[in-house]
Amino acid sequence: MQKNKTALIWLTNNLRTIDNVLLANACKEYTNVIAVYFFNPNHYKKDVFGFTKTERFRAQFLIETVQNLKDNLEKLNISLLTFLDHPENLISEIVSKYNIDALFLQKEFTSEETICIQKTKTELPKEISIFEEYDQFLYHPDDIPFSTSEIPITFTSFRKKVEKYSTIKQRFYPIKKEETNLVLNKTKIPTLKKLGLTDITKNSNSAFPFSGGENEALKRLEYYFFETKKIAFYKQTRNGLTGTDYSSKFSTWLANGAISAKNIYWKLKEYEKEIEKNQSTYWMYFELLWRDYFKYIASKHGDLLFKQRGILQKKYNWNNNQSIIQNWINGNTKEPFVNANMIELKETGWMSNRGRQNVASYFAKELKQDWRIGAAYFESMLLDYDPHSNYGNWQYVAGVGNDPRDRKFNIQLQAQRYDKNHTFRHLWLQPTLF
């Protein structure tokens, strides 16, 4: 323990107290701990395609998450400072004001994040200790049987070796600090209006009516595993379209780090030990592993994840027809199944996994529009936007990513299979539209 010394935790997409390695290590090693979160203005600006990078649905979910985190940290006697500003503008000032001896931050591997971190570091005094830790993986990078450059091009090859040779670390828990650790905190969490966004009204048809925050994530985890045992049928129901329980919905809390993949995994192990182990419990792990894989692909390929030719460097003749793109966004294409999914996204910030695959395939393979535009729209709108999974999945569907087969979805057959009784289309479309 560094007696009478102070650590600052710079939180980004690790907005939780349970299984937060930065928080656990800072609490263990330093007498005093302060946390800070930045609503980075860059995240609320227009991107190159004209979309606001973070639209109101995800922004509201984030605001709720940060407020819950602030409350939970206060129970540990840790203050959370919040700013609507660029981290590089203020962290050195915070370090000076609170006599910070060490900075704890999450290690990143994509350019926007790493550039921001580097800019911030250059403003810090040389004597400050800096601790960077990977904290968004299921399998820690030190524990997989590949170097970054050796990550396989197919998920199956990755999965088989990881399952055979790797183990998942246990969860980290913070230590409660002395009450005197709290600092005078006059900072405020911004409103949607402060972020330049409009208020939202909850849609009663939404498959995701949940709030942001660690408490809500843990509540959902208990509900889905132990209270209802919905996990027992996950493999059979995960391709559903309507209602709250066809899938776990964990992805949204995972995306901003209100819950960790490891926490879900170890809860899953508890369920398997206490109740049952079946194909569905394995499939939950399988999906967590896919999420990990896309992060490792991003780590290996860097900015190729966001480039038109993708990680395969394949050239297609992509188009950028604004009228066609806008019709897709507005749910005004010739395919009712696509339209229903796009209207759901526009009105709620949510879309099922089955819907995402279909609308993305339609955009890239039928409309032949530049897949990056579709990915950017998803980035703007999705409650559970995660850069690695979003762009990885779009590349996969567009034929420039991790699927050498370059498949195309038959939208009408998909609609017949997954919305046979038109329940989903009835929910989001006027009857005359299909």
- Residue 4's pLDDT is 85
* Phi and psi, residue 361, nearest 5°: -60, -45
pLDDT for 434 equals 57
Sheet holding 30-38, edge to edge: 79-83, 30-38, 2-11, 102-106, 129-133
pTM (two decimals): 0.96
pLDDT over 90 percentage in the chain: 94
| Confidence tier at 402 by pLDDT (50, 70, 90) | confident
Percent of the chain with pLDDT over 70: 98
For the segment 202-218, the average pLDDT, to the nearest whole number, is 97
Which amino acid, 322? Q
For 257, left (φ over 0), alpha (ψ -120 to 50), or beta? left
pLDDT at 404: 63
Mean pLDDT of 349-369: 98
Q: Could you tell me which residues are beta bridge partners of residue 83?
A: 38
**What dihedral angle (degrees, nearest 10) is formed by the CA atoms of 366, 371, 377, 381?**
80
- CA 230 to CA 201: how far, in whole Å? 28
Domain boundaries, the chain: 2-135, 214-301, 322-433
Least confident of 9-13, 355-359, 406-410, 413-417: 406-410
Assign domain 2-135 one CATH number from 3.90.226.10, 3.30.450.20, 3.40.50.620, 3.30.1490.20.
3.40.50.620
The pLDDT mean for the chain works out to: 96
Where do runs of H (alpha helix) occur along 31-190?
56-75, 87-97, 111-122, 155-165
Report, as an integer, the average pLDDT of 339-344: 98
- Confidence band of 326 (pLDDT split at 50, 70, 90): very high
DSSP bridge pairs for 106: 133
- Report the alpha-carbon distance of residue 271 to residue 277 in Å, rounded: 8
Task: Give the pLDDT score at 179.
Answer: 85
Span 349-370, mean pLDDT? 98
Q: What is the pLDDT averaged over residues 275-289?
A: 98
Q: Give dist(CA 431, CA 434) in Å, integer.
A: 6
CA proximity to 134, closest of 26, 35, 21: 21
Mean of pLDDT values over 57-71: 98
In angstroms, the CA 305 to CA 309 distance is 9
> In the structure encoding, which two tokens stand for residue 376, read together?
């950017």
Which of 350, 363, 174 lies closest to 246, judged by CA?
350
pLDDT-derived band at 383 (thresholds 50, 70, 90) equals: very high
- Tell me the average pLDDT across 228-253: 97
Q: Which of 48, 116, 61 is nearest to 381 (CA)?
A: 61
Query: The domain 322-433 belongs to what CATH superfamily?
Result: DNA Cyclobutane Dipyrimidine Photolyase, subunit A, domain 3 (1.10.579.10)
Among 174, 168, 159, which residue's Cα sits nearest to residue 214? 174
Q: Is the pLDDT of residue 433 over 70?
A: no
Mention every residue, 6+ apart, whose C-beta is less than 8 A from residue 143: 166, 167, 168, 169
The torsion angle over the Cα atoms of residues 332, 336, 339 and 345, rounded to 10 degrees, is 160
pLDDT digits 0-9 by tens, 127-183: 999 999 999 999 999 999 999 999 999 999 999 999 999 999 999 999 999 988 889
User: Could you report the per-residue pLDDT of 178-201, keeping only the tens digit for each?
Assistant: 988 889 999 999 999 999 999 999
Placement of tokens 């004597």 in the chain:
127
CATH placement of domain 214-301: 1.25.40.80
Report pLDDT for 432.
Answer: 57
- What CA–CA distance (Å, rounded) separates 63 from 121? 26
